[in-house]
Amino acid sequence: MKILAVVIVFVVCCGFSCRYDETCNPIRTGEEVVLLHGKSYCLDNPAYELIITDISEGRCPEGVICFWQGEVTVSFSLKTESAEHEFILKSVLNPADTTAGYIFSLLDVLPYPKYKQPVVLSDYRITLKIDKPDS
């Protein structure tokens, strides 16, 4: 009976000593990936963490006639071992950027806005392609 009590105490202590760490969702370079706002993504090197920090919707909504198509702007943060890099991709004027040795290309942002139907950040799906120039 004493052995059972010791085992139970050991298991309980081990359970309390563990802590939950939010894990980084792994993504691979050279492939299209769909990212969500506020989630953490690790590039091929786990020390490189990519996060979408903001999305600014400026596209002409369906159901409206606009002079210009507009564009959506997506802000990113890339944390490396030595620094944090901030960069912005825009659907029309700046769809690609090179940061920390990676080429980031914005391919699509869904959902497309509709007149009088607001979209919350958690609804967005950002399709990105990430390449390394030397690979």
pLDDT digits (tens, 9 = 90+) for 74-88: 999 999 988 999 999
Q: How many independent structural domains does the chain possess? A: 1
| DSSP conformational letter for 95 | -
Q: pLDDT value at position 134?
A: 73
Residue 90 lies in a domain: yes
Q: Which residues of the chain have pLDDT under 70?
A: 1-22, 135
Residue 13 lies in a domain: no
Residue 11 lies in a domain: no
**What's the CATH number where 107 sits?**
2.60.98
Q: pLDDT value at position 10?
A: 45
Residue 112 lies in a domain: yes
Q: pLDDT value at position 11?
A: 42
Residue 9 lies in a domain: no
Residue 1 lies in a domain: no
Q: Which residues contact 76 (CB under 8 A, 6 or more apart)?
A: 50, 51, 52, 53, 86, 87, 88, 89, 104
pTM attached to this predicted model: 0.80
| DSSP conformational letter for 3 | H
28: its two tokens = 């691979």
Residue 116 lies in a domain: yes
The rounded distance, in Å, linking the Cα atoms of 10 and 3 is 10
Compute and round to an integer the Cα radius of gyration of the chain.
21
**Which residues, listed in sequence order, are joined to residue 74 by a DSSP beta bridge?**
55, 89
Q: pLDDT value at position 133?
A: 81
Give Cα separations from 29 to 63, 81, 134 (angstroms).
37, 18, 11
Residue 18 lies in a domain: no
Domain that holds residue 122: 23-131
17: helix, strand or coil? helix
